[in-house]
Every structure is written in structure tokens, then in C-alpha cells.
């Protein structure tokens, strides 16, 4: 799958997020990268920033939070295009949930592990 096709899958996964939630997202950007850092080669996605639940009066003039979805590990773990679509959607939801302050333990319990 080309990078452009994968980027489109990420965009489609973002489009499936309910508008009630996307309206609440604030100061966050989503990126696609080919590979994660060498020390975590199987990482599918990464949220970097300050979750909405941790922001206070001090939160102003900061760079956007960053959600990165990694193409390489997703393709390597997927056998079919449908697997890639499903895993991409789970990864996007997982990282957006971190933006909302939901931790990994809760995400795993909800099936977004």
C-alpha cells in the first residue's frame, strides 16, 4: 500500500469520528510517518501533547498536540487491506482518546488496545 493510500485511510478514519467529539478536539494535528523510532519498531501510533483533561489556565500559545500514525508496522502486522483499514481506525481512535485523557488501561478494556 502506498503512502498516499495509507494517508487516505487515516483521513477516512478521522472522518468516522463523531462530530460531537471532533468539535471538542483542540490544538491537535495528525501526521502519518513511515516508521516509529528504532527503539519501538512495532509502535502503531503515538500521541504527544497535553490531554484536554490536563489543560488549565496556563495552556496558551503552545504548539499543537501531535498524533502520529505509523504506516510500516501497520502494514507488517496486516495480512489484507481490510486488516489495514481496521487497524488504522483502531489506532486513530486510540490516539484521539489519549487527547481526551483516556489512558491505555481504559482503552484496552474498551477494545482499543
**Is the distance from CB of 61 to CB of 113 less than 8 angstroms?**
no
Unique residue bearing C-alpha cell 490516539: 95
**Is the distance from CB of 17 to CB of 93 less than 8 angstroms?**
yes
State pTM to two decimals: 0.89
Could you list the pLDDT tens digit for every one of the 113 residues in the chain? 999 999 999 999 999 999 998 888 889 999 999 999 999 999 999 999 999 888 888 888 889 999 999 999 999 999 999 999 999 999 999 999 999 998 888 888 877 76
| Largest interatomic CA distance in the chain | 46
Amino acid at each position: 500500500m502506498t503512502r498516499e493510500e495509507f494517508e487516505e485511510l487515516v483521513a477516512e478514519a478521522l472522518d468516522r469520528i463523531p462530530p460531537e467529539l471532533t468539535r471538542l478536539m483542540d490544538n491537535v494535528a495528525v501526521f502519518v510517518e513511515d516508521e516509529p523510532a528504532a527503539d519501538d519498531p512495532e509502535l502503531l501510533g503515538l500521541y504527544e501533547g497535553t490531554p484536554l483533561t490536563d489543560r488549565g489556565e496556563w495552556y496558551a500559545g503552545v504548539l499543537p498536540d501531535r498524533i502520529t500514525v505509523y504506516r510500516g508496522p501497520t502494514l507488517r502486522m496486516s495480512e489484507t487491506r481490510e486488516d489495514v483499514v481496521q487497524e488504522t481506525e483502531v489506532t486513530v481512535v486510540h490516539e484521539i482518546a489519549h487527547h481526551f485523557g483516556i489512558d491505555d488501561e481504559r482503552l484496552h478494556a474498551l477494545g482499543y488496545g
